[in-house]
Amino acid sequence: MVLYDKEGKPLSQALARGKPFADLLQLAQSWGKEGKELKGDLNGDGKVDGADLQALGQGYFPQALAPSPAGGEGSPEPREEKTP
């Protein structure tokens, strides 16, 4: 998705995907099914479930998941809270 200003100029760049959106759609359409050669069965265990979703998620948005080098704002790493 890209947002545009009122003059039609893009405000940002679309996130690059490592895998096509069709893979996510196939997984969703096969969710909960079991059998051989299911399109959403990415790990080959004969069923479409959370493990397949995790397999799809690896590398889906490679640049978006990379932590910032300085650990600044927007870092996906959880911050520890200190108690007094």
| Angle (nearest 5°) at CA 21 between 11 and 47 | 145
- Nearest C-alpha neighbor of 1 from the set 27, 25, 19, 21: 21
Distance, in Å, from the CA atom of 43 to the CA atom of 27, rounded to the nearest integer, reads: 11
pLDDT, average across residues 12-20: 69
**pTM (two decimals):** 0.47
Residue 3, pLDDT above cutoff 80: no
Q: What is the CATH number of domain 21-61?
A: 1.10.1330.10
Name the residue ranges covered by the structural domains of the chain: 21-61
Model pLDDT for residues 24-52, shown as the tens digit of each residue: 888 888 889 888 888 888 888 999 998 98
Distance, in Å, from the CA atom of 47 to the CA atom of 64, rounded to the nearest integer, reads: 29
What pLDDT score does 73 carry? 52
Stronger pLDDT, 4 or 14, i.e. the higher one:
4
Residue 38 CA from chain centroid, whole number: 21
